[in-house]
Amino acid sequence: MQQPNNEEAAQLQLNQVAVNVVVGQSVRPLLQNIDLTVQPGEFVTVLGANGAGKSTLFNAITSDVPLAGGTITLAGHDISAAKRERRAHLIARVFQDPKMGTAPRMTVAENLALASRRGQRLTLASRQLKAQFSAFEKLAAQTGNGLEKALNKPTEELSGGQRQALSLLMATMRRPELLLLDEHTAALDPHTSEAIMTLTQQIVAREQLTCLMITHQLEDALTYGSRLIVLQAGHIVADYSGEAKAQLTRADLLQYFG
Ligand SMILES: Nc1ncnc2c1ncn2[C@@H]1O[C@H](COP(=O)(O)OP(=O)(O)OP(=O)(O)O)[C@@H](O)[C@H]1O
pLDDT digits 0-9 by tens, 202-239: 999 999 999 999 999 999 999 999 999 999 999 999 99
Q: Is 34 in the pocket of ligand 1 (CB under 6 A)?
A: no
pLDDT given at position 125: 62
Whole-prediction pTM: 0.92
With 70 as the cut, is the pLDDT of residue 60 above it? yes
Tell me, in angstroms, the distance from the centre of ligand 1 to residue 213's CA.
Answer: 17
Q: What is the complex's ipTM, to 2 decimals?
A: 0.95
Among 25, 34, 47, 55, the mutation site with the greatest number of ligand 1 atoms within 8 A of its Cβ is 55
Residue 27 Cβ inside 6 Å of ligand 1? The answer reads no
Domain that holds residue 228: 6-257
Is residue 200 assigned to a domain? yes
pLDDT of residue 82: 81
Does residue 1 form part of some domain? no
Give domain status of residue 166, yes or no.
Answer: yes
C-alpha distance from residue 73 to each of 58, 60, 63, 166, 183 (Å)? 14, 12, 12, 29, 24
CA of 54 to the centre of ligand 1 (A): 8
Element (H, E) at 192: helix 190-207
Beta-strand pair 26-38/77-78: unpaired
The answer as to whether 85 is a domain residue is yes
Is residue 140 included in any domain, yes or no? yes
Our answer on whether the CB atom of 215 is closer than 6 Å to any ligand 1 atom is: no
**How many independent structural domains does the chain possess?**
1
Among residues 181, 177, 182, the alpha carbon closest in space to that of 12 is found at 177
In-domain check, residue 110: yes
What CATH number is given to the structural domain containing 76? 3.40.50.300
The CA-based diameter of the chain, rounded to the nearest angstrom, is 59
